[in-house]
Amino acid sequence: MVTPINLPVDLLKFYDMAFDIIGPNTRRYLDMLGQMRGAPVQAEELEPRTRIYLRDKGGIGAVKYVRAIEGIHALGRTFANFMCDFDVILTPTLTREPPLIGTLDVIDDQKDIGTLIECFHSYSPYTALFNATGQPAMSVPLYWTPGGLPIGAHFVGRFGEEVTLLALAHQLEQAQPWAHRRPQINACVS
């Protein structure tokens, strides 16, 4: 039986929490990289989006960082309970067709983190959520654009029940095979 649902999460708050973790971790990684190479990583060596992460979230305090980690853990528990009523949840992998190369590029660091969060949320709102909460999930190419690009269906299972998703993937591939589907492009240059 298929039941329409509302997920028990404010996705914009989730992304804000996630970047409260990503920012300091990015800062620490770059500090470690600088130590390893014997010279600090300079801002001009970084992509604009990384500079935004560092500027807007890289210096948050320890309490806010720990609250974000606790918030993600709590969200995982919320979804574990929520999933008791469902075998799988179906969401879109993306909210629209795959973009042209460069469409999602951040070309300057004048934007703020809220603008980036809104961009991520509007384009692919669900995949990061389930990466963070720990549910097994899979994206399966069930549909194609007129140009031959795959459109993913994103299935989420219960904790520890990866076998359900694997069985579903097998059934879906038997019903609508996709292994033979290849885009009409060639990335090789001679």
pTM, two decimals, is 0.86
* Across 5-26, average pLDDT: 96
> Hey, which residues does 88 pair with through a beta bridge?
157
Q: What is the pLDDT of residues 87-134, one digit of tens each?
A: 999 999 999 887 788 877 888 888 899 988 888 888 899 999 999 999
Q: Tell me the CATH number at 144.
A: 3.90.1300.10
Other Cβ atoms closer than 10 A to 10: 10
- Let me know if residue 190 belongs to a domain: no
Range of the domain at 158: 11-175
Q: What is the pLDDT of residues 173-182, one digit of tens each?
A: 999 998 888 7
- Let me know if residue 47 belongs to a domain: yes
Distance CA 33, CA 41 (A): 7
- Let me know if residue 116 belongs to a domain: yes
- Let me know if residue 182 belongs to a domain: no
Number of structural domains (the chain) is 1
137-144 and 88-92 strand pairing: unpaired
- Let me know if residue 82 belongs to a domain: yes
- Let me know if residue 76 belongs to a domain: yes
